[in-house]
Structure 1
Amino acid sequence: MPKHSWWQRPHWPEYGSELLGTAFLVFIALSVVTLTFGSCSPLATALPKSSARRLIAGLILAASGPLVAISPLGKLSGAHLNPALSLAFWLQGKMHPHDLAGYLASQLLGAVLGAGVAVLVWGAWAASIQNGVTAPGMGYSIWSVMLIEMGLTCLLVLAIFLFLSNHRLMHWTPFMTWLLMAFIYWLAAPISGSSLNPARSFGPALVSWFWRDQWVYYLASPLGALLAVGFFRSLNLVGIHDVLTAKLFHAPRYRCIFKHVKAPQINTNQDGKLIIPRERT
Structure 2
Amino acid sequence: MPRRYAFGRADEATHPDSIRATLAEFISTFIFVFAGEGSLLALGKIYRDTGGNSASELVAIALAHALALFAAVSASINVSGGHVNPAVTFGTLLGGRISVVRAIYYWIAQLLGSIVAALLRARHQHVQRPVGFYVSHGVGEWHGLILEIVMTFGLVYTVYATAIDPKRGSLGTIAPLAIGLIVGANVLVGGPFDGASMNPARAFGPALVGWRWDNHWIYWVGPLIGGALAGLIYEYLVIPTEVPHHTHQPLAPEDY
TM-score, structure 2 normalization: 0.85
Q: Which residue of 1 aligns with 2:156?
A: 157
Match of 2:62 among 58, 63, 75: 58
Q: Distance in 1 between the 2:116 and 2:245 partners? A: 31
Between the aligned residues of both structures, percent identity stands at 21
Q: Which residue of 1 aligns with 2:33?
A: 26
Q: Which residue of 2 aligns with 1:138?
A: 137
Instruction: Give the partner amino acid of 1:41.
Output: Y
Instruction: Give the partner amino acid of 2:229.
Output: L
Aligned length: 245
Which shifted more, 136-145 or 182-191? 182-191
TM-score, structure 1 normalization: 0.78
Residue 216 of structure 1: how far off its partner (Å): 1.1
Instruction: Give yes or no for contact 2:72–2:84 (8 Å, CA) kept in 1.
Output: no
Q: Distance in 2 between the 1:185 and 1:172 partners? A: 20
Q: Which residue of 1 aligns with 2:199?
A: 197
Q: Distance in 2 between the 1:28 and 1:243 partners? A: 35
Q: Distance in 1 between the 2:70 and 2:198 partners? A: 16
- Ranges in structure 1 where 5+ consecutive residues have no aligned partner: 247-255, 260-266, 268-276
Instruction: Give yes or no for contact 1:86–1:100 (8 Å, CA) kept in 2.
Output: yes
Q: Which residue of 1 aligns with 2:220?
A: 218
Instruction: Give yes or no for contact 2:33–2:114 (8 Å, CA) kept in 1.
Output: yes
Instruction: Give yes or no for contact 1:51–1:186 (8 Å, CA) kept in 2.
Output: no
Higher relative contact order, structure no. (Cα contacts within 8 Å, ≥ 6 residues apart): 2
Instruction: Give yes or no for contact 2:73–2:84 (8 Å, CA) kept in 1.
Output: no
Instruction: Give yes or no for contact 1:10–1:102 (8 Å, CA) kept in 2.
Output: no
Residue 209 of structure 1: how far off its partner (Å): 1.9
Q: Secondary structure at the match of 2:169?
A: coil
Residue 226 of structure 1: how far off its partner (Å): 1.2
Higher-Rg structure is: 1
Compute the RMSD of aligned alpha carbons. Answer: 2.7
More helix by share: 2
Q: Which residue of 2 aligns with 1:250?
A: none
Q: What's the CA shift string for 1:137-195, capped at 9, x where partnerless? A: 11100000000001110011111111232112111111111221111111211111110
Q: Which residue of 2 aligns with 1:35?
A: 42
Instruction: Give yes or no for contact 1:150–1:223 (8 Å, CA) kept in 2.
Output: yes
Q: Which residue of 2 aligns with 1:271?
A: none
- Distance change (3 Å), C-alpha of 1:2 and 1:200: closer
Instruction: Give the partner amino acid of 1:17.
Output: A
Q: Secondary structure at the match of 2:184?
A: helix
Q: Secondary structure at the match of 1:226?
A: helix
- Ranges in structure 2 where 5+ consecutive residues have no aligned partner: 1-7
1:85 equivalent to 2:77? Answer no
1:116 equivalent to 2:109? Answer no
Instruction: Give yes or no for contact 2:29–2:114 (8 Å, CA) kept in 1.
Output: yes
Q: What's the CA shift string for 1:44-74, capped at 9, x where partnerless? A: 54xx321122112211222112212222x44
Instruction: Give the partner amino acid of 2:78.
Output: K
